[in-house]
């Protein structure tokens, strides 16, 4: 009988796509550098010179801020669709009807800085203004800054934590920003521990794009912090199946193996993911890495976002093409976050067609066949 020798831990995987990209545009970086999330943030593409070198995109007088991690740049480099989500464009200077800087009126529902308390039993906690990769359609671009270092936020956090402690009706806290997973381990640990100690909280959620744009952040030190917080949910921002690389799969499997429940949030974007088949392959890909599709958002009417906007019928048609045609688990809710602070409102194809004189509920199914249900 042979004795099995324990193998040294495998190198974190580096997909072929990112390796080739690294060797082309970040030659001086080692694989260890590339796999280090802090290296990724420090070496992110933030200037137009670099954007032009890699993507051939020129600044054309607007000088809008930008930020893309080298890892995500490697994904965008190999995708026809994703560039538009992160490359600044002149279209952002076009202001259209109904658009504003804070379309969801988050600042109106803010009892203390950092918190948006819109729904009775849950609260949104904006813990940082920094994101590793800036999305051009970001609903919070009004607060996103491009600085890696922030002034000590502990005082503001503590005021928010006090508010949550005093409001016993809150049972769910959504930590967002900016991207909370760009915080250093020590701060994240402080935040999650403080919230975990609040008895009336049933659950904590983290809203993040890190597993998609900076998957190397999901390392064992982070997992050690996250797994002490239970139950922990993660809402992961994703856009297209091109994002589901080997690195992302590894990161998400690690999260799932450690008990973190994952859902996805996807913004419906014109010519990027507005085809039913594109969405379906994204949602099938997410289920394979144990992320449950949670929301499709109609694009928020953010200032300068008209070029991303699809019609509402486009979104309803996507749901129409999913329901009945694939696993119910692959079907998220399609919602409009109502401008002015009305919250998320779901939209569905017309499956419910009203009632007849005898009180029957009139229904139509995914094949456009009609059915009745006797309603007592
Ligand atoms: C989206 C959101 C929530 C969470 O909504 P769910 O439907 O529970 O996911 C909470 N507060 C605010 C302000 C939000 O925008």
Percent of the chain beyond pLDDT 90? 84
Pairing mode of beta strands 172-176, 203-208 = parallel
The per-residue pLDDT for 106 is: 87
Domains of the chain: 16-92 (no CATH), 115-346 (3.20.20.70)
The mean pLDDT of 235-256, rounded to a whole number, is 98
The confidence band for 375, taking pLDDT boundaries of 50, 70 and 90, is confident
Q: Which atom of ligand 1 is nearest to the CA of 122?
A: 10
Q: How many helices (H) and strands (E) does the chain have?
A: 13, 12
Place of tokens 């671009």: 141
Residue 89, pLDDT > 80, answer yes
The per-residue pLDDT for 172 is: 98
The per-residue pLDDT for 108 is: 87
Both tokens of 29, joined, read 């970086």
For residues 141 and 90, the model is more confident at 90
Using CB distances shorter than 6 Å, the residues near ligand 1 are: 116, 118-119, 122, 124, 174, 344
Please, are residues 89 and 136 in contact by the beta-carbon 8 Å criterion? yes
The per-residue pLDDT for 147 is: 66
The mean pLDDT of 300-315, rounded to a whole number, is 95
Over residues 199-224, the pLDDT tens digits come to 999 999 999 999 999 999 999 999 99
Q: Is 301 helix (H, G, I), strand (E, B) or coil?
A: coil
User: Ligand 1: which of 121, 124, 201, 262 to mutate, judged by most atoms within 8 Å of the beta carbon?
Assistant: 124
The per-residue pLDDT for 104 is: 87
Residue 150, pLDDT > 60, answer no
Cα–ligand 1 centroid distance for 147 (angstroms) = 27
Query: Which residues are 296's β-sheet partners?
Result: 266, 334
Q: Which of 179, 242, 274, 300 is catalytic?
A: 300
Q: How far apart are CA 324 and CA 332, in angstroms?
A: 13
118 carries an active-site annotation: yes
Over residues 330-361, the pLDDT tens digits come to 999 999 999 889 999 999 999 999 999 998 99
344 carries an active-site annotation: yes
The mean pLDDT of 29-55, rounded to a whole number, is 96
User: What backbone torsions phi and psi does residue 257 show, to the nearest 5 degrees?
Assistant: -60, -25
Report angle CA 105, 111, 117 to the nearest 5 degrees: 60
Residue 351 Cα distances to 191, 194, 316, 359, angstroms: 44, 45, 12, 17
- Measured by CA distance, the residue closest to atom 3 of ligand 1 is 124
Cα–ligand 1 centroid distance for 28 (angstroms) = 43
Which value, in Å, is the radius of gyration of the alpha carbons in the chain? 22
The mean pLDDT of 241-245, rounded to a whole number, is 98
Both tokens of 192, joined, read 């999650």
The confidence band for 6, taking pLDDT boundaries of 50, 70 and 90, is low
Over residues 357-367, the pLDDT tens digits come to 998 999 999 99
Residue 72 Cα distances to 76, 182, 273, angstroms: 6, 15, 18
Cα–ligand 1 centroid distance for 138 (angstroms) = 16
135 carries an active-site annotation: yes
Q: How far apart are CA 251 and CA 1, in angstroms?
A: 36
- Measured by CA distance, the residue closest to atom 8 of ligand 1 is 122
The mean pLDDT of 112-121, rounded to a whole number, is 95
Place of tokens 């856009």: 239
Cα–ligand 1 centroid distance for 69 (angstroms) = 27
Cα–ligand 1 centroid distance for 173 (angstroms) = 9
The confidence band for 151, taking pLDDT boundaries of 50, 70 and 90, is low
337 carries an active-site annotation: yes
Over residues 171-197, the pLDDT tens digits come to 999 999 999 999 999 999 999 999 999
Residue 5, pLDDT > 70, answer no
119 carries an active-site annotation: yes
**Mean pLDDT of all residues belonging to the chain:** 93
Give, as one character, the DSSP assignment of residue 117: E
The pTM assigned to this predicted structure is 0.94
- Measured by CA distance, the residue closest to atom 7 of ligand 1 is 344
First vs last C-alpha separation in the chain = 70
């Amino acid at each position: 009988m042979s004795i099995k020798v324990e193998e040294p831990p495998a190198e974190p995987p580096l997909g072929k796509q990112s390796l080739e990209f690294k060797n082309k545009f970040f030659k001086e970086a080692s694989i260890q550098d590339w796999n280090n999330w802090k290296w990724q943030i420090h070496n992110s593409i933030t200037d137009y010179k670099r954007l032009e070198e890699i993507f051939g995109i020129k600044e054309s007088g607007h000088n809008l801020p930008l930020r893309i991690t080298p890892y995500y740049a490697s994904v965008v480099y190999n995708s026809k669709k994703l560039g538009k989500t992160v490359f600044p464009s002149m279209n952002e200077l076009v202001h259209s009807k109904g658009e504003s800087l804070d379309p969801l009126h988050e600042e109106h529902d803010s009892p203390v800085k950092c918190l948006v308390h819109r729904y009775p039993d849950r609260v949104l906690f904006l813990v940082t203004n920094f994101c590793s990769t800036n999305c051009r359609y970001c609903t919070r671009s009004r607060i996103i800054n491009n600085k890696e270092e922030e002034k000590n936020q502990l005082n503001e956090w503590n005021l928010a934590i006090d508010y949550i402690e005093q409001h016993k009706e809150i049972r769910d806290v959504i930590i967002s920003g900016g991207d909370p997973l760009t915080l250093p381990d020590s701060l994240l640990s402080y935040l999650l521990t403080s919230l975990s100690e609040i008895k009336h909280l049933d659950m904590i959620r983290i809203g993040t794009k890190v597993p998609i744009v900076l998957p190397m952040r999901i390392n064992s030190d982070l997992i050690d912090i996250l797994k002490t917080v239970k139950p922990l949910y993660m809402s992961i921002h994703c856009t297209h199946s091109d994002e589901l690389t080997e690195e992302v799969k590894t990161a998400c499997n690690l999260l799932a193996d450690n008990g973190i429940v994952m859902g996805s949030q996807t913004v419906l974007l014109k010519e990027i993911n507005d085809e039913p088949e594109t969405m379906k392959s994204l949602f099938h890909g997410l289920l394979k890495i144990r992320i449950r599709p949670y929301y499709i958002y109609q694009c928020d009417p953010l200032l300068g976002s008209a070029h991303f906007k699809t019609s509402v019928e486009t979104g309803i048609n996507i749901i129409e093409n999913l329901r009945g045609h694939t696993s119910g688990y692959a079907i998220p809710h399609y919602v409009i976050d109502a401008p002015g602070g009305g919250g998320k409102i779901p939209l569905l194809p017309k499956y419910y067609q009203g009632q007849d004189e005898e009180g029957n509920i009139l229904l139509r199914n995914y094949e456009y066949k009609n059915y009745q249900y006797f309603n007592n």
